[in-house]
Amino acid sequence: MSLAIGSLSEFLFGHAPRPVSCGRGLELGKGTVIPEINFTLPAMDIDEATWPEVRRLYAEMIEGVCKRAAELEAPGLLVEFETLPAMTIRPEWGREIVEILATCLHGYYEKHGLKNALRVTPNDTRDFLSPSHMRDGQYWEAMAQLFEMSAAAGADLLSIESTGGKEVCDEALRFGDLRQTIFGLAILGARDMEFLWKHLVGVCSKANIVPAGDSACAFGNTAMVLADQKFIPRVLAAVIRVASVPRSLVAYRMGAAGPSKDCAYEGPYLKAIAGVPISMEGRSSACAHLTHVGNIAQAVCDAWSNESVQQVRLLSAYAPIVSLEQLVYDCRLMNTAAAGSREDAIRLRDWLVESDAALDPQAWVLRPDVVLRIAERIATEPTPYLQTRVAARCAIEEIASAHREGRLRVSPQEIRWIAKIEREVAQLPGQESEFIDEMLATPVAEKFLPGEYGIESVASR
Amino acid sequence: MSLAIGSLSEFLFGHAPRPVSCGRGLELGKGTVIPEINFTLPAMDIDEATWPEVRRLYAEMIEGVCKRAAELEAPGLLVEFETLPAMTIRPEWGREIVEILATCLHGYYEKHGLKNALRVTPNDTRDFLSPSHMRDGQYWEAMAQLFEMSAAAGADLLSIESTGGKEVCDEALRFGDLRQTIFGLAILGARDMEFLWKHLVGVCSKANIVPAGDSACAFGNTAMVLADQKFIPRVLAAVIRVASVPRSLVAYRMGAAGPSKDCAYEGPYLKAIAGVPISMEGRSSACAHLTHVGNIAQAVCDAWSNESVQQVRLLSAYAPIVSLEQLVYDCRLMNTAAAGSREDAIRLRDWLVESDAALDPQAWVLRPDVVLRIAERIATEPTPYLQTRVAARCAIEEIASAHREGRLRVSPQEIRWIAKIEREVAQLPGQESEFIDEMLATPVAEKFLPGEYGIESVASR
Amino acid sequence: MTDLKKLHQAILDGNAKASAEETAHALVAGVDPMTIIEGTMIPAMDEVGRLFECQDYFVPELLLSGRAMKAAMQLLRPLLAKSGAQPVGRVVIGTVKGDLHDIGKNLVASMLEGGGFDVTDLGTDVSPDRFVAAIGEKNADIVCLSALLTVTMPAMKTTIEALERAGVRNKVRVLIGGAPVTLQYAREIGADGYGENANAAVALARELGKGTLRP
Amino acid sequence: MTDLKKLHQAILDGNAKASAEETAHALVAGVDPMTIIEGTMIPAMDEVGRLFECQDYFVPELLLSGRAMKAAMQLLRPLLAKSGAQPVGRVVIGTVKGDLHDIGKNLVASMLEGGGFDVTDLGTDVSPDRFVAAIGEKNADIVCLSALLTVTMPAMKTTIEALERAGVRNKVRVLIGGAPVTLQYAREIGADGYGENANAAVALARELGKGTLRP
Ligand SMILES: [Zn+2]
Ligand SMILES: [Zn+2]
Ligand SMILES: [Zn+2]
């Protein structure tokens, strides 16, 4: 597999080798960066009694952001609806909201010419059971149903932030255990992605809509948030970010087309390897989580997102409208720079990069040059596990050498972690089956059902 | 009077001809753009019973933003405390909050090396009486006392958003009456500014702190918000913005040093004429009011602000921390670009400008080239009234010609307003005394007390 | 009839002087006052309303047309039977205690007046007692409370409680508005309605006038 | 004494195997169990706590040291009189109904364990009834409720109401946390405390354990 993006000068915001057309006239990766807005409910119960109010709130939110997008003459608008658990478990509820959103979006396209599309992201509820059932049972059934219903009710793109492997990774992150994290990502996560995205691509192709992409949110972003609270080292979070790339790549191998999910900060790698347009978030999503990659995350984005914000009132307007406005101005700046020349776009990209890169290893691994170097190594490996192994190894190598050369600052108490991670990566088995056998023999095996990931249990071997 | 900024290539963010040093190591206009953060209480009563909670909230807010500023290694931090009415009327309350904020800021300078300064902006309560008493009475007394107390309690800069002339302008804005607006700004406002800033500069020089600047918020921003709601034409709001420049300039003539107030969008004019560093806000202050100048407002700023946000919880953190984080990343980008070369800084400035300028006359009049042209004309006039007259005339001329040349879009229903404004501006008297006599003979005279503005009433002439 | 076309135009132009002159001409020419009102003035104001709704007119134009209409009415009112001159409703409006912001409140007040309401504007920093007193004096149907500061919002609740204690809460509909105010908050404090902006506030007052709406 | 220095180091390193080995050596060499605990293990864990507080240690190091301590204790516990082995407090913890997020909750749970609490983790999506039942079974002093979604926050209130109905509210202190939760909210629903992050939650549990704090 060779990279979709061959050189640094082609690695730009707004441009993707495989652009996507979706919804009502919306194009991603064709030269213009588009704002992607996501919103959620304020603190409230969701039940029969409050359901009319839930409907009213979604109608109010979508109307607010569309109205402002039209007033600001946004170049287009991608709206993401991420369901809440109750709306996946009871898919009819999810469907109702999809319909409300789609109706408003159609209206704004017709009345105001606002190009737009609706991305629906059912919340992955399969871990409501413990251990999780990934491929059957009531939670899977309801979620599968919601995909179909969303496609029928007006979704233009389907996404998910799938959680296969999370059972194993949550503990691993707390204990800073990279080996167990990689087991969760590359063995369990990648297998679940294969199953899930095969299914999702099927649903989309029947409905003639776009299978967009997944996010290693439950892994990479959990690590990022823990690192931001100084609970785990940033170097570890940075390595986990890169190690999550092969898992997220599986979606594209199975037929997903992008744009990737906003909170998939592994996006630049996905774009470099698979050529798909990517959605990113950074300072724009400070409302959802604080970050150390606020600018650099924007460097090669095709859609620019706020991640999520509740319908709470700020002094000016509701928070989703505030987010929308900020995204539109950010996109204006990028699109204005790019309208000058490719050199200008590169210049802005590089300022976004340089303003963050040296301060945090999590930013460093998002440098376009670093991304291309590591992506190339990932692309040469045949399986998600081997890709993940090399991804982790390259990531810690890049960090270590940048730190040695004085180009990247690593805080004193993190320095011993560089050697620790190098050691752990070096000890990862060369054979996937060996790795699986080893992990199945530890208490980790009690946390998940091997069959749910297509893995034969030790007993049945 | 000649301009402090002689050419477009010197008109840059981060650089001001007359930089300001203040607080603990903070420098404005010396090459680095600094974030300025402002926060306010959530919905609550302020009274004896809630006062301990008010204190707790301010302590929580300042700690939150300082902590994050230190984590993100902000190049400095300007904190603005704008009092609420109850804290001006009872200045001891205002003083207590100043002390809480100053203590925290001192601590972060000492422990984390975070350069910082505290701007205190007492809320102008003089219009609690109707008609307002501007120079005596309980409200003036309390406000004057708060200035002194703030200086003693740890304020590093004093500002105000003074309201002299507002009595007349509020009605004028509703009726789209430019003549009456100019009376409020240039006759009443300018006289009040002279009285007020003479006093303020005195307080600051005694305490050896910085008299910063004022804002035509009650005029220009009221017009901007009304225009954004489509209640008044944008061309009118744009002309009022430029017409507010001479009033705000008075502060600098009286000895203010900057940085100007964030919400004074007339800032670029102040910088061009008086050479002071300016604080600006744009997309960063969408939390406080929506805007059509989200990027262009940033083009020549020295501090970059969020205007104000309540202590409400977002998914990530409290809203002031979210604002702070976004400001820091915006400053990083500007400072990174400027670190390259002056040409790079100009490039980023011009993208910020071009991305907004053509879409709205309010943006157009903030173009650095337009600012320099109009500023030059303002600087040649001897009095605030004549300066305002020429400012309004030049503003509508610039808008009309840019629209004619197809460089600025004006919406169809606003076009007839261009001619209307041109007519009204042409009819403004050449003599200030004539203008005053005329207005004193209308019902407008019932709205204010001439003596409070140093104007002899008709009776006593 | 030519004269009445000019009156129509004077109202559309917001020209109070011309409006009064043309009305005077029409009266001299013997036109019946009700014909002037129903045949010309009301259609002219309807046209103004339409122009405002489709965003061709701005607020100043709306308000100036209202003034022109008033100027004409001052000549006509003495000639009319009392019965026909009922206002759409009686409104008491003010910015609540501790809050000085009045541009939004004034805007709503003038737009309500333009819409045919009898409006008593109590100004800013209005105590609950003054609201209670004004409701009695003016026999108001609707009370509009405005607040721009988060720290003065609670005074809306206090004011509504004062209306309850004074026994007048049931006689009036309470409408609230201002930047930090939400529908949610309106419900919490038991207001009858919430206007997101001046347009919405006036529309809501009309609805409340008809007695059809409770949130 | 050399051996006990090694035990000290094993706990600092979070090396459970070495920690157990060194403890076994010390016992064989005839060192009194209470000497091992009070002279070495408690000072070692205090050192770990200090390193964590000054941000030299991260959570994984804290938790691994806790594991190393536990491994040693497994050898020592049978040799101790029952009286000395009281936990700091008994905690029941869980993510409330409808919410699946558990990383924050798990972090708090493991840090509480490391801090000497007896922790019962009910997992995620825990109904009010299960909290009530667990409090009875475990004779808990403290209940920790976690929520990451704005739409599951109200379940915290419901849970506290259930504790009241079941008559156990007065027996326990209720501590809440999670991204959307605020001190304000904790007060509103009558919780006893709010932890802004895992550190704060553990510190608060310690305070509550001493019975000193009510918000
Ligand atoms: Zn996510
Ligand atoms: Zn998301
Ligand atoms: Zn202001």
pLDDT of D214: 34
pLDDT digits (tens, 9 = 90+) for A360-394: 999 999 999 999 999 999 999 999 999 999 999 99
Question: pLDDT higher for C148 or B252?
Answer: B252
Q: Are residues C12 and C66 in the same domain?
A: yes
A43 contact C CB<8A: no
Query: Between D98, D103, D180, which is nearest A222 by CB?
Result: D103
pLDDT band at D2 (very low <50, low <70, confident <90, very high): low
pLDDT digits (tens, 9 = 90+) for B93-144: 999 999 999 999 999 999 999 999 999 999 999 988 888 899 999 999 999 9
Q: Are residues D75 and D94 in the same domain?
A: no
Res C115 pLDDT > 80: no
Q: How far is D170 from chain A (nearest CA, A)?
A: 26
pLDDT of C76: 85
Res B38 pLDDT > 60: yes
Q: Are residues D102 and D200 in the same domain?
A: yes
Q: Are residues C100 and C203 in the same domain?
A: yes
pLDDT digits (tens, 9 = 90+) for D154-171: 899 999 999 999 999 999
Q: Are residues C167 and C117 in the same domain?
A: yes
> CB within 5 A of ion ligand 2: which residues?
A 263
Ligand 2 centroid vs A262 CA: distance in angstroms?
6
In A, which residues are within 8 Å of D154 by CB distance?
43-45
C63 contact B CB<8A: yes
Q: Which of A273-282, B56-65, D186-195 has the lowest mean pLDDT?
A: D186-195
Q: Which domain holds residue D189?
A: 90-209
Q: What is the CATH number of the domain that holds D187?
A: 3.40.50.280
Ligand 3 centroid vs B161 CA: distance in angstroms?
6
Q: Does C174 fall in a domain?
A: yes
Looking at C83, C101, C127, the residue that finishes a domain is C83
CATH 3.20.20.70 applies to domain B10-448: yes
B170 contact C CB<8A: yes
Res C87 pLDDT > 90: no
Res C83 pLDDT > 90: no
Number of domains, chain D: 2
Q: Are residues C96 and C76 in the same domain?
A: no
Q: Are residues D96 and D163 in the same domain?
A: yes
Contact A315 B314 (CB under 8 A): no
Q: Which ligand is nearest to the CA of B289?
A: 3
Q: How far is A313 from chain C (nearest CA, A)?
A: 7
Q: Does D200 fall in a domain?
A: yes
A112 contact B CB<8A: no
Ligand 1 centroid vs A310 CA: distance in angstroms?
15
In B, which residues are within 8 Å of D104 by CB distance?
none
A316 contact C CB<8A: yes
Q: Are residues C94 and C193 in the same domain?
A: yes
Domain ranges of chain A: 10-448
Angle between helices D103-114 and D198-210 (to 10 degrees): 50
B461 contact D CB<8A: no
Complex ipTM, two decimals?
Answer: 0.88
A311 contact D CB<8A: no
Query: Between A46, A174, A230, which is nearest D151 by CB?
Result: A46
Q: Are residues D149 and D110 in the same domain?
A: yes
pLDDT > 90 fraction of chain C, expressed in percent and rounded: 40
Which of helix, strand or coil describes residue A342?
Answer: helix
pLDDT of C214: 34
Q: How far is D180 from chain B (nearest CA, A)?
A: 6
pLDDT band at C178 (very low <50, low <70, confident <90, very high): confident
Q: Are residues D164 and D120 in the same domain?
A: yes
Q: What is the CATH number of the domain that holds D28?
A: 1.10.1240.10
Res D213 pLDDT > 50: no
Looking at D53, D83, D113, the residue that finishes a domain is D83
pLDDT digits (tens, 9 = 90+) for C133-154: 999 999 999 999 998 888 888 8
Q: Does D214 fall in a domain?
A: no
Query: Between B175, B231, B233, which is nearest C198 by CB?
Result: B231
pLDDT of C2: 55
In B, which residues are within 8 Å of D153 by CB distance?
none
pLDDT of B461: 52
Please list the ranges in chain A whose pLDDT falls under 70: 1, 457-461
Q: Are residues C109 and C158 in the same domain?
A: yes
Q: Which ligand is nearest to the CA of A244?
A: 1
Looking at D25, D54, D83, the residue that finishes a domain is D83
Q: Are residues D41 and D60 in the same domain?
A: yes
Q: Does C165 fall in a domain?
A: yes
Q: Does D215 fall in a domain?
A: no
